[in-house]
Structure 1
């Protein structure tokens, strides 16, 4: 037990070393207004579309106006993957900052922000008044460690229960495996409670000491909280049924068939809680991936849990006799073969769904971790084959003991990789994830300030041929300005093209539109004259690059 504890402790150190705050598993596909874009008039809301369903984090979504005040009003709403943020009605021109923090379908937080302009950009970008939305490294590492502990506890609990119920020699004391069983249950419960508590600061982006009861209540109301509660409930029922089954073995020599059936159902239900709180719940085909991942985890628990029991108890010198091992090891070998087959099949299907393409396999962190896990599995299967070859020849030999111990050591590394994978963006998402939200404009836009007004100029498409020009006039304070008369012309001095009058049509008090043919590429000089009263007027010139 001391050797096993040292081995798992070493793996925890490795896990802490490589762990980092989990990356966003849902990405922003589009925004309206567009990121970095300029709109002529204030919109009624900001909409964001993500790559998967999300839920908002309370008090972590806001729009900041150029003067630092809140531009949003009321409650945000979510419709699947679309987030809507309602805005105030009296918004001035300038640059606005959208700050958001949402929870993706796989329970990971997605923080971020972007800016857009109403009328014209501000001289400075507003700063958010919310707390830092990043995920702290200590919280991320603690979650990774908690998941690792949960996997380890699951292996011990399943391995000990399986061996005690079906393989343990009647003459041997059950004290050791019972302790392992209790330790396994305890580690899973500790991991589950730890993840539940850590989820609150994780999704809210705050330190653990600033987590409130409302934050924990929010986790309890989420899908993640429901899954964690279901896991605790299934463990409690399993502990009661298992305790009764073990008592019946002592009194009758074998467990009741009904106990085995109930425990199998409880085991499948508990195993499904891992994918329901992870990547599988957010995959393109969640019904398939949840089932596949459940099979993967269950097969892993049976195989590696059985290895742990062999190493800790049955294969130790002066424990099970040669005759007992001759009866036990072939049975265990068949179970291991079935488990490994199920594990490999489920793992391949799961990897194909989560990776998607060969490029994603070799260009993403998730893909490299999968490759590392495959390499470790190949090595462990080699030692498993060596151990199996000694099952029938020398079941109590030193070679068998050595091979099984090496298998268990590599298995501990695989668990560490698996825990890291749960904190890493799936390759199918990371490969397609842009560094920023891609919002391209196929027109020219700018703002120019004059003494009487600020004028926003949009030219679409700013290419040779027919172009549409939109003009928006604002007061120096950013309010819509009533224009009495509009006038415009366009010239290309470098090509000898003299100013050509551009007819304009007033659409509103501060908005006019016109159309002009620009036959030659170059830097066109567009002059706009706005008369704001019977006596006040002013002209500005804008250089428009035309391709």
Structure 2
């Protein structure tokens, strides 16, 4: 594989995805979203329900969150502990609730460990709707927690590269390096960073899920909620694996020789376990194709560990020595790095397609822009890696033999070659050329060291962006949000009934529209006539009439409703229940 192949492969795969995504953008997935409620948002009921049910798009847990129902005065009217069954959360209510407005507020944790919060209201009898804004307090993540979590993840990522990547470098490229005290300290420090990062993430997950301050990190209730979750257990397992691998490596370094077969087998199992505990949490375990996502992420994390850990080992070991091992180590690592980068490129594109979904999401969501920034830095890293690889090929002759006429050798090196060939102590011209290569490599070592330093420095930025991406909702979940709202039917005398409007997936192109009509008592009613129109005032589009078909009493459906462009659209429902009075209801929603 040429030195340009990883970069060209990355560009080719991204271009293919961009081209394919333009015509095959799919619906939203990944990251739990509220898809239905019972009672519905804004519903007016004749009598109080026994419970409130929230249905999410994927499995959730309460963890350190909550799900509760409040009366108009702010008092709680739910009773007992909410039940969670997959993506359904059921909140039992007290009996004999009076006529009033009620506010349902929730904060649950999705399978990818991110909290989802929201609120909606409904009315029993002649009560007034409680404003949803009354639930806004206490739902945002504390700024200190929001800053500390990515830092803890970055610490774990960097530690994994050192704690696992440096031993891999020694096993595959530099067996004599097991005697290096500096590399021993790097690997031990890396494993300590993995454990520390996992502990910090464990402590911060509770405040993150509960939207509480960083001072609540040691709250027993929050710690217990985190420990009982899959995410929390995975973090604790990661701490144990890091400690066990540190003990194995300590025994190996005491002997200052490559590990024995039993130690190698045990260390490999522990290192693989560490990689899996990093890959099998967060976004990969939620959304579509979780099996494929976990495998791809595992390969991605392993390749990152081998490549970046190897770079750190080269800087601290080989490139800081007198060069005795340079000719042996660098060609081997060059091939290892090329394979790692190729694996990173392929699995990275697989992850991007899954988490972003469509090219539009790259430039319309926070996750997309972060991914674009990471891609740009990765290209710079590949450019720096290309410089390093050219140096290795020119000075140590690996991977791509170059014609003798194109090989760059200094005048001093030519003179040395002539003297070496004339020296009877040199067995052959090949031996002389090897000495010339070693001497030229020693003279030009600063060039290689600078390029590897740039490569490693940019890699640190990539790790930081990765740590932020892990905590950012996937673009696929942000770009398309189905609409499901209850709005009042307005007449000249005021509100008279409600209409429930559902638009799925609320993206450009074909959508499915459902319209349900309710009278003031919350019962479905059949209209004499119903019309739906779409407008986009900012772009002066519309009104666009939406064809409807009856789907049951009080229920109409617009299957294949086409929204032509992105923007903030207004959907207006006009209803005639008799020959004399027209009622209207409208809602606005974003389309990306």
State the TM-score, normalized to the length of structure 2. 0.69
**Structure 1 residue aligned with 2:484, among 431, 435, 438?**
438
Q: Identify if the C-alpha distance between structure 1 residues 236 and 57 changes in structure 2 by more than 3 Å, giving closer, same or farther.
A: closer
Alignment match, 1:49 = 55
State how far apart, in whole Å, the 1-side matches of 2:518 and 2:221 are: 52
Equivalent in the alignment of 1:262? 266
CA distance in 2, matches of 1:408, 1:171: 20
Q: Could you tell me whether the CA contact under 8 Å between 1:176 and 1:313 is conserved in 2?
A: yes
Match in the other structure for 2:383 = 382
| Cα distance in 2, alignment partners of residues 178 and 91 from structure 1 | 67
Counterpart in 2 of 1:12?
none
TM-score norm. by structure 1 comes to 0.74
Q: Give the equivalent residue in structure 2 for 1:502.
A: none
Runs of 4+ in 1 over 6 A off after TM superposition: 126-131
Q: Is the 8 A contact 1:154 1:185 kept in 2?
A: yes
Aligned counterpart, 1:406: 454
Q: Which residue of 2 aligns with 1:500?
A: none
Deviation at 1:305, TM superposition (A): 0.9
Taking the aligned partners of 2:181 and 2:387, their CA distance within structure 1 comes to: 30
Aligned to 2:23: none
CA contact 1:26–1:52 (8 Å) conserved in 2: yes
The whole-number CA distance in structure 1 between the counterparts of 2:353 and 2:518 is 50
Residue in 2 aligned with 1:14? none
8 Å Cα contact 1:97-1:127 kept in structure 2: no
Q: Which residue of 2 aligns with 1:161?
A: 167
- Cα distance in 1 for residues equivalent to 2:160 and 2:124: 55
Corresponding residue of 2:117: 111
Q: Hey, what does 1:366 align to over in structure 2?
A: 367
Residue 296 of structure 1: aligned partner: 300
- CA change 1:32–1:80 in 2 (3 A) is same
8 Å contact 1:65–1:126 — kept in the other structure?
A: no
Listed as ranges, the gaps of 5+ residues in structure 2 are 1-29, 396-440, 501-515, 523-527, 529-574, 587-592
Q: CA RMSD in A?
A: 3.2
Gaps of 5+ in 1: 1-23, 450-455, 462-466, 474-489, 491-515, 525-543
Partner Cα distance (1:51, 1:171) in 2: 51
CA 170–116 in structure 1, closer or farther in 2 if over 3 Å, else same: same
Shift in Å at residue 414 of structure 1? 0.5
Matches within 5 A, 1:138-537: 138-168=144-174, 170=176, 174-211=180-217, 212-248=219-255, 250=256, 253-316=257-320, 319-321=321-323, 323-394=324-395, 395-396=441-442, 397=444, 398-433=446-481, 438-440=484-486, 444=489, 458=497, 472=521, 520=579, 523=581
Distance in 1 separating the partners of 2:268 and 2:42: 55
Distance change (3 Å), C-alpha of 1:177 and 1:130: same
Contact 1:47 1:85 in 2 (8 A): yes
Separation in structure 2 between the aligned mates of residue 459 and residue 247 of structure 1, nearest angstrom: 76
* Cα 1:40–1:180 shift into 2, 3 Å: same
Q: CA 1:69 to 1:344, structure 2 compared with 1: closer, same or farther past 3 Å?
A: same
Report how far residue 163 of structure 1 moved: 3.4
Residues 363 and 171 from structure 1, CA distance in 2 versus in 1: closer, same or farther, beyond 3 angstroms?
A: closer
- Cα pair distance change 1:109/1:126, threshold 3 Å: closer
Structure with greater Cα Rg: 1
Distance 2:518 2:123 in 1: 19
CA contact (8 A) 1:355 1:361 kept: yes
Cα distance in 1 for partners of 2:498, 2:156 equals 59
Q: Is the 8 A contact 2:37 2:55 kept in 1?
A: yes
1:204 offset after TM fit, Å?
A: 1.6
Asked whether the equivalents of residues 201 and 208 of structure 1 are also in contact (C-alpha less than 8 Å), the reply is yes
CA contact (8 A) 1:283 1:289 kept: no
